Amino acid sequence: MRFLSKQSSLYPLKLLLFLFHATNTIVLSFLPLYLQHKGLNGTEIGWVLAIGPFASIISQPFWGYLSDKYKTVKTFLILSVIGMLSFSILFFQMNKIIAILIFAGLFYFFSSPVGALSDSLAQRRALQLGVSFGSIRTWGSVGFAFSSLIVGEILSRIGIGYMMYPYLFFGAILLITSFAIKDVETDSTPVSFQDVKLLMKNFPYVLFLSIMLFITITHRASDSFIGLYIAELGGAEDLVGIAWFVGVISEAAVFALAAFWFRKFHPISFTILASVLYSFRWLLYSFIDSPYLIIAFQFLHGLTFGIFYVATFDFVTRLIPQHLQSTGHLIFYSVFFGISGIVGSLLGGAVLERFGGATLYFSMGIIALLGLLLFIWFHFWFNKAEPTTKR
C-alpha cells in the first residue's frame, strides 16, 4: 500500500515531465526547419538557436536561487510555464531576424527553467521516496518520443509553418498539470548569495562541469542540426520526427532501467562509458550518406545521452549542499544545455553552412574524444583527492 501511495503521488509529476518534453520536442526538433521556412540561412539559424542557451545561463541560476531562497519549486515552475506560453505566441509570429532574436530571448528566459526545475523536483522527490530518478525522468523521454513522432507526421501533412499550434496545445495542458504537482520538502537552512559563491568555489564541482562541456557541446550541436543534416541527406520532416522518436525511445528505456544498472558502478565510470559511445556515434554519423541510416543508428542516443545525463546529474547532486540543490542543479543545467548550446549552435551553424553536415559530425567526434580523455584523468584525480576536497 505504501508503494502504491508513493507512485500515485508521482503521477502529476510524471505527467508534467511528459507534457513539457512533448512541447520541448517541437522546438528542439523542428525549429531549425521552421526558421529555414521563414527564409533564415544557416548562420542566422545558429544565432537564433544560440539565444536560447544564452538566456538559460541567466535564467536558470536565477530561478534556481529563488526556488532555494523561498523554499518552493512549484511556484516558480508555474510562473515559468505562464511566461513560456505567453512569449511563445509572440515569438512564432515574428518574421524579421531582429524581432525573432528579441522574442526568442524572452521565450527562452521562461521556457529553459521549466525542464531544469522539473528534473530538480524529480531528483529530490526520488530521494525522499526512495525510488529511482530514472523511473520518473523516463516519462519526459516518453513525451519527447510521442510528440516527435505525432507532430512530425502532422507537420509533414499541414506544413512546418503551422508549428505553433501543436506547441500551444501541449503547453496549455502542461500549465493545467503544473498546479496539481506536489511541492518538494526543502531544507530550512537560509540561502544567500554568499552560499552561491561558496558553491562556485567547490573545485570538483566546477572542474567536472568544465570537462563536461567537451561532451555536451557536441550533444547540443547535434540537437540543433540533426534535422538539417537529415534534410541535407534528402529526408523530409516526417523522417526528422522518426529519427527523434527512435532516439528518445532508447533514451526512455535507459532511464526506466536505471534502477537496475546504475548502482552497480560509480557514476564517473558511466560518464566515461557514455563519452566513448558519444565519440563513436559522431564519427559514425560523419560517414553516413543516407537519412535512413541516421534513423537506424539513432538508438545510440539512449546509450549516450541517457547514460551520460543520469550519471552526471547524480554525481553533481553528491557534490551540492542540501540547501542549495535547486541552485546547483540549475547551474548544472545551464552548463549542460546553456553554455554548450551557445557554442554548439554558433560553431555548428557556421561549420554546417560552410563545410556541410559530415564535417560537422566528424569535428564533434574529435571534440568528444578530448572530453573522454579528460574524464579518464578526472576519474584518477578524484579517487586520489583528499576526503575534504571531495566534499
Question: 343 pLDDT exceeds 50?
Answer: yes
Residue 148's pLDDT band, with cuts at 50, 70 and 90, is: confident
pLDDT for residue 3 = 45
pLDDT for residue 23 = 93
Residue 4's pLDDT band, with cuts at 50, 70 and 90, is: very low
Task: Quote the pTM value.
Answer: 0.76
* Mean pLDDT confidence for 147-163: 84
Domains and CATH numbers, the chain: 11-390 (1.20.1250.20)
* Mean pLDDT confidence for 12-21: 93
Question: 312 pLDDT exceeds 90?
Answer: yes
* Mean pLDDT confidence for 346-366: 90
pLDDT for residue 7 = 59
pLDDT for residue 36 = 87
pLDDT for residue 168 = 94
Question: 365 pLDDT exceeds 90?
Answer: yes
Q: Which residue has the higher pLDDT, 301 or 259?
A: 301
Question: 191 pLDDT exceeds 60?
Answer: no
High-pLDDT (> 70) share of the chain, %: 93
Q: What angle do CA 250, 256, 261 make, to 5 degrees?
A: 95
pLDDT for residue 390 = 52
Question: 2 pLDDT exceeds 70?
Answer: no
pLDDT for residue 89 = 93
What is the 8-class DSSP label of residue 161? G
Q: Tell the residue number behind the cell numbers 523536483, with chain if given.
A: 121
pLDDT for residue 5 = 52
Please write the tens of the pLDDT for every residue from 259-270: 777 777 788 999
Please write the tens of the pLDDT for every residue from 60-96: 888 888 887 788 889 999 999 999 999 999 999 998 8
Q: What is the mean pLDDT of the chain?
A: 85
Residue 192's pLDDT band, with cuts at 50, 70 and 90, is: low
pLDDT for residue 109 = 92
- Read off the C-alpha cell for 52: 536560447
Burial of 390 (0-12, 13-18, 19+ CB in 10 A): exposed
Please write the tens of the pLDDT for every residue from 345-354: 888 888 988 8
pLDDT for residue 1 = 46
Question: 136 pLDDT exceeds 50?
Answer: yes
Among 1-5, 24-28, 40-44, 340-344, the least confident range: 1-5
Residue 8's pLDDT band, with cuts at 50, 70 and 90, is: low
Tell me, what amino acid is at 244?
Answer: W
The secondary structure of the chain, three-state, reads CHHHHHHHHHHHHHHHHHHHHHHHHHHHHHHHHHHHHCCCCHHHHHHHHHHHHHHHHHHHHHHHHHHHHHCCCHHHHHHHHHHHHHHHHHHHHCCCHHHHHHHHHHHHHHHHHHHHHHHHHHHHHHHHHCCCHHHHHHHHHHHHHHHHHHHHHHHHHHCHHHCHHHHHHHHHHHHHHHCCCCCCCCCCCCCCHHHHHHHHCCHHHHHHHHHHHHHHHHHHHHHHHHHHHHHHCCCCHHHHHHHHHHHHHHHHHHHHCHHHHHHHCCHHHHHHHHHHHHHHHHHHHHCCCCHHHHHHCCCHHHHHHHHHHHHHHHHHHHHCCHHHHHHHHHHHHHHHHHHHHHHHHHHHHHHHHHHCHHHHHHHHHHHHHHHHHHHHHHHHHHHHCCHHHHC
Please write the tens of the pLDDT for every residue from 277-289: 999 999 999 999 8
